Amino acid sequence: MRHLILVDLRRHPARTVLTGLGIAIGVATIVALLALSAGIDRSAAGLINLGGAELGMFQGGVGELTASSLPESLVPRVRRQPGVADADPIAVATGELPKEPSFLVFGVEPDGFVVHSLVFIAGRPPRGAREAVIGDGAARQLGLDVGGRLRLSVGSFRIVGIYHAGVQFEDQGAALPLAVVERIRGRPGDVTTIAVKIARGARASQVGDQLGRTFPGTVAISQPGQVARVDTNSLLVRKSATLFVALALIIGGIAVMNTMLMAVFERKSEFALLLAVGWPRRLVAQLVLGEGLVLSLGGALVGVALGIAGGELLVRAFGASTLVSPQFTLWTLARAFLVAGAMGTVGSLYPAWWVTRLVPAQSLG
């Protein structure tokens, strides 16, 4: 059976390759989008949990988390809420480092718990208006050290410390005093998020719901899966991935069906002969289904490789490699192969059924 499947697929190599390439493109798109969606969730988790916070408060209905804008005056009120142990304002600015559009600059309170949670490899937290600390990843990439100058689009800052946070985009960024970043953003008194530490014994989800009711227009997020409540870009990527899965299944199924129909029409007498010499119709149908599955899974192998390469190229093309790193999990790859298998199965069902209806006497006559 296996030998027959491979022989049959080699009969028309151009047709087989073109069909497999179409499947590969669909699978590559699925892999890239699913990995990008997982990467966005991971990055969102880092922004939600800055400084070891259990909750992140954001403006509701914004396109992305970094576009959130909250009045800094909310912070004292948040600190007084039941279940809240502490709250720190954080302002986030992007695009301040020339040629590195995804470089993030964090505005923090020097005495807040967010700064205290950082592990300082060298130096100390920023205090003066022209002082900055940078993550160890950024220090390596930019070749900077304590005493050097961080040259942003708004001016030069003296580096007084190098930190490690354990979050990729945070370690690839820099932190400055909060008031400085607020001026950089052109929004004095406004912050991007309020990091919240939960009191011992309180539940983050319950505190988050209470904060959302107390401060209308805000959302408090404790889990990456809740990002879609505020980040419409994340929701768009997820819906796009679902849409592409459906489209790939339909288009790939049609492509496989077209290829398999042409193959069975051309080999009608061959299938009739197999039936005439005693092959069960079930076995003949399995032969056709097997060809469709091998064709689809072969395309999936190529598609997975293209999707992995394409996901990395996509974030680099948009200058977001620091913010988002595609996450290629086993479940992501498994879903790609499941979709490819479904393409082969769905596309081969009608050709397999058509073969089982052949009448050997008529087809061989």
322's tokens: 């620091």
Position 75 scores a pLDDT of: 92
Position 38 scores a pLDDT of: 72
Determine the Cα–Cα distance for residues 346 and 249; give it in Å rounded to an integer: 9
232's tokens: 């419409």
Determine the Cα–Cα distance for residues 179 and 102; give it in Å rounded to an integer: 21
Position 214 scores a pLDDT of: 92
What does each C-alpha distance from 94 to 29, 33, 310, 313, 322 come to in angstroms? 28, 23, 24, 21, 11
What's the rounded mean pLDDT across residues 125-141?
Answer: 88
Amino acid making up residue 229 = R
Determine the Cα–Cα distance for residues 256 and 348; give it in Å rounded to an integer: 7
Position 272 scores a pLDDT of: 78
211's tokens: 């904060």
Q: Over 80: is that where the pLDDT of 4 sits?
A: no
Q: Over 70: is that where the pLDDT of 66 sits?
A: yes
Q: Report the residue count for the chain.
A: 365
Residue with tokens 């990729």: 168
Position 299 scores a pLDDT of: 87
What does each C-alpha distance from 8 to 15, 149, 295 come to in angstroms? 12, 66, 11
Q: Model confidence at 310, in pLDDT bands (50, 70, 90)?
A: confident
Terminal CA-CA length for the chain: 26
Position 132 scores a pLDDT of: 92
Position 110 scores a pLDDT of: 85
Determine the Cα–Cα distance for residues 164 and 183; give it in Å rounded to an integer: 25
pLDDT tens sequence across 82-108 = 999 999 999 988 777 777 766 888 998
Determine the Cα–Cα distance for residues 318 and 312; give it in Å rounded to an integer: 10
Position 317 scores a pLDDT of: 57
Shortest CA distance to 303 belongs to which of 23, 10, 79, 54? 23
Determine the Cα–Cα distance for residues 184 and 207; give it in Å rounded to an integer: 32
217 versus 319: the higher-pLDDT residue is: 217
Enclosing H/E stretch for 88: strand 84-94
Domain ranges of the chain: 2-43+234-363, 55-221
Q: Over 60: is that where the pLDDT of 365 sits?
A: no
Position 79 scores a pLDDT of: 92
Position 254 scores a pLDDT of: 84
SS3 of 346, please? helix
Q: Over 90: is that where the pLDDT of 129 sits?
A: no
Question: CA 153, 96, 56: angle at the middle one, nearest 5?
Answer: 150
Determine the Cα–Cα distance for residues 258 and 256; give it in Å rounded to an integer: 5
What is the overall mean pLDDT for the chain? Answer: 81
Determine the Cα–Cα distance for residues 132 and 340; give it in Å rounded to an integer: 50
Give the best-scoring range by mean pLDDT among 159-163, 176-180, 259-263: 159-163
Listed as own residue / partner, the contacts of 121-127 with beta carbons closer than 8 Å and 24 or more positions apart are 121/162, 121/163, 121/164, 122/146, 122/161, 122/162, 123/159, 123/160, 123/161, 123/162, 124/160, 124/161, 125/160, 125/161, 125/175, 126/160, 126/161, 126/175, 126/176, 126/177, 127/160, 127/177
Position 2 scores a pLDDT of: 65
